[in-house]
Chains A and B, each alone.
Chain A
Amino acid sequence: MDFAQAFWVLLLGSLLGLELIGKVPPTLHTPLMSGANAVSGITMLAALTLIITAKNNLPLLIIGSISLGFALFNVVGGFVVTDRMLAMFNRKPSKKLK
């Protein structure tokens, strides 16, 4: 990867992040934080790359595997917990009281 290009990607990604989250109702701050946090577990790709390119280097395989475990803990846990929080908002308002 060309590094000038990588910096452009970094810059545009940051600008996108600033724009995306501009107006959010306070209700959604916790779920949003938790969802964004799950996305930061994208390092799982780096961990995967490490394991795949490690070939037969055992210490590297183990480091990669632990790193993958931590990342997926973050990703899976993050999305599930966000889903749980949001399920509560989406629930149909309880039947109208008489």
Chain B
Amino acid sequence: MDVSLIQSFINLIAVLLLALGIKGLSKVRSAKEANRLAAFAMFLSIIGLLTYYLGKPGEGITQQSWLWIIIGTFVGSLFGAILAKRVPMTSMPETVALFNGCGGMSSLLVAIGVIFFQRNETFIQDISILISIFVGSITFSGSIIAMAKLQGWLSTPSWTQSKIRHLINISIAIISLVAFLNLIQSVNTSTIWLLVISSTVLGIGVTLPIGGADMPVVISLLNSYSGIAAAAAGFVVGSQLLIVAGAMVGAAGLILTQVMCKGMNRSLVSVLFGGTLSSQSKKLDSGGEYTNITSCSVEECALTLEAANKVIIVPGYGLAVAQAQHTLREVAKILEQNDIDVSYAIHPVAGRMPGHMNVLLAEADVPYEQLKEMDNINPDFPATDVVLVLGANDVVNPQAKSDQNSPLYGMPVLDVQEARTVFVIKRGMSAGYSGIKNDLFDLPNTSMVFGDAKKVLSELMTELKELGVGAK
């Protein structure tokens, strides 16, 4: 039997499994199996490729090739597995960014290898190589910058918030374009490096000015790019499987990017070219000073909680930063033992990524049924005695509904102000990521409890125990 037929058959199964895997990842029940199915499909595709080269007469794999295959496989897999096992759950966004950047780098290297040593000088292959270099470089440098910013290794330089950056980025883009067009006509080494360098710099220039809150959108977009780079690499080496898988990831990444933008009520254009929200809202001057802040002690908060029947907890990025999810779970347990109904309101963009809070709370063993999505829980707020806002800010800002001039206007928010009492646990009066005043803090039924989320929660736990809550 013809080996290329066998390979096509294996590839067909791999594509089917990959598609089923990505589909399965969209349902909570099947997600875990689906992820393994996709991993298996990837493994299968390697088997298919090796079968082809081992079985085809006159091809074969030399010993030297095996050596380099084993080295690459061993080193890459080992580091990937170690990092994936060790990284804390709170650093998920930057980990995904790092992995993504490496995928882009891989496509870039394939393109470079082929253009220097295996070029067959067809027009389509040349174009595919150039696209692979361009997109691969941007994916790599952009992802690394995104990771560094999320890790706090890099801040947003102030010059990147001025108009100059558009000028710089446009000039770099023009240099890339010129290099690209030149290379289509004739390939030469120095122009290839010019393309590599200019597109790398372009990736940095485009990602650097983007603020932390928008970073997940950028990562999702870069994820889509790495799919495109993979598809381009598929054209380079003539692999249909690569083209299908790359195109699937590219398209899926775009949809996810769109969903994220919608959740924040921002357009992709404003995320990419608008600079950070805070620099826009300074100009808008959207609120002024707080006039009616009520601050209260942990003890008062504990007393109110003790008397409550229904409590809703609103987690945000502050909870993730303080690593307070376990302490929060303990407090919730105490309340539940006192027959208080506890649930968690999850805003789609709470934290730094959709689903960030779910992952974080799941880590602390919070039962899945207690996590409620925004649309399901909003009607519950009027019947709620106490809302605890933990490190969330913009997602509970009533301005988004009431103030047409607010930059947040139109963003769906949690209607926490409808509850009888709201406690906002926060380190200080600083604004949220949008840099906008939060009208919630001024409302008469809102009290601020200042302090680090973890510290406040453990004090709260002590107070509750002293009150005899949960002792039964």
A interface list, Cβ under 8 A from B: 1, 3, 5-6, 9-18, 20-57, 59-91, 93-94, 97-98
Cβ-defined contact, A29 with B28, below 8 A:
no
- What 0/1 readout, one digit per residue, does chain B (42-57) give for beta carbons within 8 Å of chain A? 1001100110010000
Scan B375-419; emit 1 where CB is below 8 A from any A CB, else 0. 000000000000000000000000000000000000000000000
- 19 pairs from A and B in contact (CB 8 Å cutoff): A17-B251, A27-B346, A36-B248, A39-B22, A40-B229, A46-B106, A48-B69, A49-B239, A51-B65, A52-B65, A59-B116, A60-B113, A61-B64, A73-B83, A81-B87, A84-B84, A84-B89, A86-B35, A88-B363
- State whether A31 touches B239 (Cβ < 8 A): no
Given A42-B241, A68-B69, A85-B359, A33–B35 Cβ distance below 8 Å?
Answer: no
- Apart from the given pairs A27-B371, A37-B249, A79-B38, 11 other A-B contacts in the complex at a CB distance below 8 Å: A6-B234, A6-B235, A10-B243, A22-B255, A32-B22, A43-B229, A59-B116, A66-B109, A74-B99, A88-B362, A89-B358
Contact, CB under 8 Å: B249 / A32: no
Instruction: Give every chain A residue within 8 A of B238 (Cβ-Cβ).
Output: 1, 6
**Is the CB–CB distance between A46 and B84 below 8 Å?**
no
| Residues of A close to B62: CB separation below 8 A | 55-56
Taking a contact as CB atoms closer than 8 A, the residue among B22, B50, B110, B263 that contacts A50 in the complex is: B110
User: Contact check: which of A3, A10, A68, A77 meets B99 at CB < 8 Å?
Assistant: A77
Interface residues of B in 221-247 (CB under 8 A from A): 223, 226-227, 229-231, 233-247
Give Cα A87–Cα B39 distance, bound, in whole angstroms. 15
Report yes or no: B96 in contact with A13, Cβ–Cβ below 8 A.
Answer: no
The B interface is mostly helix, strand or loop, or mixed, namely helix
Chain A residues with CB under 8 A of B113? 50, 54, 60, 63-64, 67
Across the interface, name the chain A residue whose C-beta is closest to B125.
A3
Closest residue of A by beta carbon distance from B255: A21
Q: Would A84 and B26 be within 8 Å (CB), given that A6-B240, A30-B353, A90-B32 are in contact?
A: no
Q: Roughly how many angstroms separate A46 CA and B31 CA in the complex, as a whole number?
A: 28
With A67-B113, A83-B32 as given contacts, are A16 and B248 in contact (CB-CB < 8 Å)? Answer: yes
Q: In whole angstroms, how far apart are the Cα atoms of A53 and B366 in the complex?
A: 52
Distance (whole angstroms) from the CB of B99 to the closest CB of chain A: 5
Contact A61 B65 (CB under 8 A): yes
Which residues from B are CB-within-8-Å of A82? 25, 35
Do A76 and B252 touch across chains, with their CB atoms under 8 A apart? no
- Structural contact, B346 and A26, CB atoms closer than 8 A: yes
Asked if B80 CB lies within 8 Å of chain A CBs, one says yes
Q: Are the CB atoms of A97 and B236 closer together than 8 Å?
A: no
Tell me the nearest residue of chain A to B219, going by C-beta: A33
Residues on B lying within 8 angstroms of A by beta carbon are: 18-19, 21-23, 25-28, 31-32, 34-36, 38-39, 42, 45-46, 49-50, 53, 59, 61-62, 64-65, 68-69, 71-73, 75-77, 79-81, 83-85, 87, 89, 92-93, 95-96, 99-100, 102-103, 105-107, 109-110, 112-114, 116-118, 124, 219-220, 223, 226-227, 229-231, 233-256, 259-260, 263, 333, 336-337, 346, 348, 353-356, 358-359, 362-363, 365, 367-369, 371, 373
* Pairwise interchain contact B231-A93, C-beta atoms closer than 8 A: no
Task: Decide: B99 and A28 in contact? CB cutoff 8 A.
Answer: no
Please name all residues of chain A whose beta carbon is closer than 8 Å to the beta carbon of B21 when the two chains form the complex: 35, 39
Contact status B249-A39, CB under 8 Å? yes
Min CB distance B371 to A, Å, is 7
> Which residues of the partner chain B approach A14 to less than 8 Å between Cβ atoms?
247-248, 250-251
B99 A33 Cβ-Cβ under 8 A: no
Nearest 4 Cβ contacts at the A-B interface: A17-B251, A13-B247, A77-B80, A72-B76
With a CB–CB cut-off of 8 A, which chain A residues contact B252?
17-18, 20-21, 32, 36
B23 and A33 contacting across the interface, CB-CB below 8 Å: no
Question: How far apart sit A49 and B240, CA to CA, in the bound complex (Å)?
Answer: 13
Chain B minimum-CB-distance residue to A85: B359
Find the B residue at minimum CB distance from A81. B84
A75 and B371 alpha carbons, distance in the complex (Å): 30
Query: Please, which residues of chain A bring their CB within 8 A of the CB of B92?
Result: 30, 34, 81, 85
CB nearest neighbor in B for A25: B28
B31 pairs with A28, CB closer than 8 A: yes
Does A93 lie within 8 Å of B368, measured CB to CB? yes
How far, in whole Å, are A54 and B223 apart by their CA atoms in the complex?
Answer: 29
* Separation of A83 and B226 alpha carbons in the complex (Å): 21
Q: A35-B38, A82-B35 are in contact. Are A53 and B354 (CB under 8 A)?
A: no
Residues of chain B contacted by A29 (CB below 8 angstroms): 256, 259-260, 353-355
Min CB–CB distance B264 → chain A (angstroms): 12
Contact of A17 among B100, B124, B249 (CB under 8 A): B249
CB distance from B303 to the nearest CB of A (A): 22
Task: Say yes or no: B22 contacts A36, CB within 8 Å.
Answer: yes
Q: Whose C-beta in chain B lies nearest to the C-beta of A58?
A: B64
